[in-house]
Amino acid sequence: MEHIHTAVPEVVKKAEPKAIPKAVPVPKLATEQATKLANEAVENQQINSAKPTGKAHGQTGPKSIAGKNSARWNALKDGATAKSMVLPFEDERAYKRHIKEVERALCPANYVEEQMVREYAEGLWRIIRHEKRGAYERDEILNCLTPQMAAQMLGLKECYVNSAPDYLIDLQHKIPKLAQALATKAFDQYEHLMANAKGIGNFNLVWRQYPILFEELAIWLLKRNPGSTPIFANTGKDLNLAWQQNPQKLLQLLERFANHLYFVEQFERFKPTIRVWMESWFFLQKTEMRKLEHGEQLLLKERNYTYGILERLLRFRKSNVFLNSLPPGLSVMAQKGGN
């Protein structure tokens, strides 16, 4: 007999519910610290949200038309990329005359040539602007030089450094040879006077021994200060009484005049040394030189661009002349072939 096995159902045990852990009591001090930190975080968030984020909400710039026109030039540096061809300090009438003169010279014959000529004229206008800018920047660098700096470079005495004339750094200034020779004679007489006439109480007794010195002094004082007391009396034979009574003041005046004579006499001899020194000083101004070089690069690019426009215009005209010279049938074929 076959035994029939019957499956006995297994008894599934129900999962016992997990015990809920008891809450760990938090110390009162830790709770207070957590509350304090939370309050500080909220306060910091409120402060940060009140700070500007860098984005302006609404209009913050000028509202008037004049203010807007003025503000749009705030970022202007060299005018190379300015949207307007005429900058605020430029003369718009001069710009219009410039455009008309270029158009009159090149005589555009059609719309394409008009556009090219206009573009060429605008390029010339920017070139002129860059040239002016470069000249102003060079002048600004050289304006930092002073005659006293040049005198110190020459190793002159302190009295000459303090009285260095403005033309000492103007290498275009010229002193005639006759003036140099006269200054040499007057300076020699001054040195002789200082060496042999010490302690004189009245220069009226000795001035005739130094006629060139005192006569040139009278002319120099009149040019420098027309309202001052003349050196000579009305007769021209004696010193003015005021100068006779103030020999110390006359000595001081003679010293200043001698410093003037020294530079008149020596300036042409100083020129080569001053020229080399100014050149080296100029090119050692690295920061300013970088600005100047940047401006010169812009000028070169503008010139290349502008002259390129003129070359395109000439090529365009040359091609038109060639096409116009062909018979009608060949002209149409050439135009189609070019297209």
Q: Which residues, including other chains, have CB under 8 Å from residue 39's CB and lie 6 or more apart?
A: none
Residue 95 has a pLDDT of 94
Q: Which residue has the higher pLDDT, 153 or 336?
A: 153
Say if 96 falls within a structural domain: yes
φ and ψ of 320, to 5 deg = -65, -40
The tally of domains found in the chain comes to 2
Clarify whether residues 130 and 198 are in a common domain.
no
Are 186 and 244 found together in one domain? Answer: yes
Residues 253 and 301 in one domain: no
- Boundaries of domain holding 106: 82-144+285-324
Highest mean pLDDT among 74-78, 181-185, 199-203: 181-185
Is 72 within the bounds of a domain? no
Where is pLDDT greater, at 281 or 114? 114
Per-position b or e across 240-262, b if 16+ CB within 10 A of its CB: beebbeebeebeebbeebbbbbb
Q: Mark 308-329 as b/e (b = at least 16 C-beta within 10 Å).
A: ebbeebeeeeeeeeeeeeeeee
User: What confidence tens digit (pLDDT) does each residue in 245-290 have?
Assistant: 999 999 999 999 999 999 999 999 999 999 999 988 887 776 666 7
- CA 92 to CA 85: how far, in whole Å? 9
CA angle (319, 322, 325) in 5-degree steps: 150
Residues 201 and 123 in one domain: no
Tell whether 225 and 316 lie within a shared domain: no
258 within a domain of the structure (yes/no): yes
Query: What's the confidence (pLDDT) of residue 171?
Result: 93
Question: Do residue 183 and residue 91 come from a single domain?
Answer: no
Higher pLDDT, residue 164 or 18: 164
Q: Check pLDDT > 60 for residue 49.
A: no
Q: What single letter denotes the amino acid at residue 285?
A: Q
Residue type, 106: L
Number of Cβ within 10 Å of residue 273's Cβ equals 13
Whether 128 is covered by a domain: the verdict is: yes
Average pLDDT over residues 180-185: 96
The per-residue pLDDT of the chain, averaged, comes to 79
* Amino acid occupying residue 116: M
- Whether residue 126 is contained in a domain is answered as yes
Q: What is the dihedral of CA 292, 294, 300, 301, to 10 degrees?
A: -160
Distance CA 203, CA 254 (A): 11
Is 36 within the bounds of a domain? no
Alpha helices, DSSP H, located in 143-174: 147-153, 158-162
Residue 71 lies in a domain: no
User: Within this chain, do residues 126 and 190 fall inside the same structural domain, yes or no?
Assistant: no
Judgement on whether residues 257 and 293 belong to the same structural domain of the protein: no
Residues 264, 295 share a domain: no
Assign 6 a pLDDT band (cuts: 50, 70, 90): very low
Q: Are both 195 and 245 inside the same structural domain?
A: yes
Give which of 80, 206, 64 is closest to 131, Cα–Cα: 80
Does residue 236 fall inside a structural domain? yes
3-state secondary structure of 239: strand
Residues 243 and 318 in one domain: no
